[in-house]
Amino acid sequence: MDATPPRRAGAPTWLIATIGALVGLFYAYAVWNAIGNLIESVAFFGENGLALNGLGWFVWIFAAVFPLLVWGGAFALGYRRPAHELLLIMITGLALVAVFWLNVVAFTTLNTSSMVG
């Protein structure tokens, strides 16, 4: 009998961490943008005597949390795979975040009056 453990099919740990961190910077930029827009919205509406309602807070907070959820899901799906597959999964998740961000921008631009109270 062969007592050697089966070889893991995935990439080395340092390569997984490097890919996750480098692509994660782009996800972090999306989070940073959402937080910046939340602060800007609160300041802008505050100057005009208005405030964000529950929908407005939900949209901007979810816009900040969504990239983190997608990054976590993409990493969970890809960390045991070869490096090129992990990279492709992470980039696909980033494309999903970009589409979501465009939807948030379109929604907040066209429905500004429904987000203030």
What does the mean pLDDT of the chain come to? 92
Residue 40: band (very low, low, confident or very high) from pLDDT cuts 50, 70, 90 = very high
Give the global pTM: 0.86
| Displacement of CA 46 from its chain's centroid (Å) | 27
| Cβ neighbours around 36 below 10 Å, total | 12
Q: What is the DSSP letter of 111?
A: T
Q: Is the pLDDT of residue 7 over 60?
A: no
Q: What is the pLDDT of residue 117?
A: 80
Q: What is the pLDDT of residue 11?
A: 82
Residue-wise pLDDT for 63-92, tens only, equals: 999 999 999 999 999 999 999 999 999 999
Mean pLDDT value across residues 47-59:
92
Closest CA to 92 of 105, 79, 73, 107: 73
Q: Is the pLDDT of residue 10 over 90?
A: no
Q: Return the structure tokens found at 16.
A: 């997984």
DSSP-assigned states of every residue in 16-85: HHHHHHHHHHHHHHHHHHHHHHHHHHHHHHHHTT--B-HHHHHHHHHHHHHHHHHHHHHHHHHTTS-HHH
